[in-house]
Chains A and B, each alone.
Chain A
Amino acid sequence: MIEDKTAGGRLFTVVNITLLLLFALLCILPFMHVIAGSFTTSAELAEKAFVIFPTEWSIDAYKYIFSTDTIFRALLVSIFVTAGGTLWSMLLSVLTGYGMSRKDLPGRRVIMFFIVFTLLFNGGMIPTFLVVQQTGLLNSLLALVIPVSINAFNMIILKTFFQNLPASLEESARIDGCNDFGILFRIVIPCSMPAIATISLFYAVTYWNTYMHAILYLEDASKWPVQVLLRQIVVLASGMNYDGSTYMDVPPPEQSVKMAVIVVATIPVLLVYPFLQKHFAKGALLGSVKG
């Protein structure tokens, strides 16, 4: 790309980058505070005397959370569910999304309407629990994946991206003798990698954050993903268990431990995006396929 070399252009670049950097700084300061908090003592946190650099450093919080294998196990469950769930959801969403992007499909509008409808109405926790039970998923990690196989929102986004592909691409493939599956996997998906990467990220994050379903559907605590642990510790440490039995007088976990758990439960999912970022490279894929 050619640099814009006019004075106005340069000014724009400077202002633009400055604003973005400021916003980025604003975005990470609280997280830096959490990281710093995880490396200090709870007394230091109670003093509220630092933002990023505590005066007293300590790794006790990490020693504490890693002294049993609970958090490792929970992380493994989360990684497994996230990886498997994302692949599964992407498969279904791409298939459905591509099908729905075909404008000549009879019944398309009706089907789409029924899918959009599910975004607006849901039967609630209890009937859903019964269906999960009836389909034999209770107490299985599949209960965290199958009942949320497709997010209609994500599917619709994919469909929109697929629709925006030039129709000529598909036609030329059809002339080459590809059937619909061939077109999807040889042309549409490779041409839509930014969208595929985006929606994969959306699914991955949703699966990573899953926690209510784990509590409802999994009795066996050894199958709980890390968010259950995170949530429990954050709520207990903040004294916000508004639903809990308030007569119990259990001392809350230490604030530094809370922050350490936040860090450990967040870092893995933060790493997903940089990993996917190469797929956002501008127009590269489109060009290569065309060429």
Chain B
Amino acid sequence: MQSQTETKAGKVLSKNEKWELIKKRIKKNKLIYLMILPGLLYFFVYKYIPMYGLIISFQDYKPYQGIMGSQWVGLEHFKRLFADPDFWMIFKNTLVLFGLQLIIFFPVPIILSLMLNEVRSMPLKRSVQTLIYIPHFMSWVIIVSITYVLLTMDGGIVNGLLQQAGFQEVNFLLNPDWFRPMYILQVIWREAGWGTIIFLAAIAAVDAQLYEAAKIDGAGRFRQMWHITLPAIKGVIVILLILKIGDVLELGFEHVYLLLNSSNREVAEIFDTYVYTAGLKQGQFSYSTAVGFFKGLVGLVLVVIANWLAKKAGEEGVY
């Protein structure tokens, strides 16, 4: 409300007066600038300085020649990427997995934390919380190998049960149709409990008096959830959503790489796994950097759009 009136007033101010106003605000906030200085310094030194390394995506970088000595090749590496016959397949796979993450995975921690919030017994609630965040600490290597033991056709537990129940065995591991469900279920299993932590924190910040008031008005649990809890954590949800969208091409290299096999490559190959075999494994730094650069650009575009939409919808946005 306040900032709105300010901008409205700003329109009638002259440029000079506006500048004066900003100067005054800067002065007023000098302690704040002091506060953010160490953080900004960190970002500058450890994040921005190394970014000069992105230059090599326009070079034929040879480690022993360094960035200064390596030859410039312009957009050569980008052309190679787009010309790769598998480019669109990889692009599509990446987007599909991202879509699954967004549509199927993203709401799960929210629902879980709403469910947890409804548990009245504190010890029970805390125990469940503690148990469901354990999977986050299991490495993908272990998760994938446990999945193998469960699902293999060579004496796996699930296929054993299916057979006993009179069903056909299912080729979970090699059939490409099973890759996506397996991927997203593993992500949910590993990360859903972990994801609740942040929403529980947001819920904890909700003013308890609001619930009391609602109860007096005769609102049931679902109405309280819908009208109090959800609106209260909406801000956090939107921020997480935008950040998640920026992460569009980070789908967990190790996870996908471990699940990838000759039978499911058509649906499982994503940019990270592609870069690993096409570039990094053979020390082609330029090419892999170029692919990373491309990923960053896609992410940037999406974040800008998502942020703009969020602002349009009256939300805060990330910047």
Contact = CB atoms under 8 A, between A and B. Distances in A.
| Direct A–B touching, Cβ under 8 Å | yes
B82 interface: no
B170 interface: no
B182 interface: no
B200 to A, nearest CB: 6
B319 A109 contact: yes
B285 interface: yes
B204 A150 contact: no
A150 B207 CA distance: 29
A43 interface: no
B88 interface: no
Contact of A238 (B45, B133, B141, B243): B141
A153 to B, nearest CB: 6
Given A2-B215, A16-B119, A155-B39, 10 more contacts: A95-B39, A98-B35, A99-B33, A115-B43, A120-B299, A120-B303, A122-B51, A160-B239, A283-B207, A283-B208
Contacts of B296: 120-121
Contacts of A21: 128
A163 B316 contact: yes
Contacts, number: 256
B235 A184 contact: no
A259 to B, nearest CB: 9
Contacts of A31: 134-135, 138
Nearest to B121: A17
B162 interface: no
Contacts of A175: none
B52 A127 contact: yes
B236 A118 contact: no
Interface string A202-246: 000100000000000000000000000011001100101000000
Nearest to B63: A126
Given A102-B32, A127-B52, A286-B205, A120 B246 contact: yes
B227 interface: no
Nearest to A231: B139
Contact of B39 (A19, A33, A93, A180): A93
Interface in A87-136: 92-93, 95-96, 98-100, 102-106, 109, 111-124, 126-128, 130-132, 135
A126 B53 contact: yes
Interface string A145-167: 01111101101110011011000
A160 B131 contact: no
Nearest to A240: B141
9 contacts: A20-B132, A106-B29, A113-B319, A124-B289, A157-B239, A180-B29, A198-B201, A234-B139, A286-B205
Contact of A13 (B35, B118, B141, B211): B118
Contacts of A26: 189
Nearest to B208: A283
Interface residues of B, number: 90
Given A93-B39, A96-B35, A281-B204, A30 B135 contact: yes
Contact of A160 (B200, B206, B235): B235
Nearest to A160: B239
Contacts of A111: 36, 40
Nearest to A283: B208
Contacts of A121: 51, 54, 293, 296, 300
A250 interface: no
Contacts of B299: 119-120
A273 B3 contact: no
A262 interface: yes
Most buried by A among B26, B50, B129, B202: B50
A286 B208 CA distance: 9
A100 B36 contact: yes
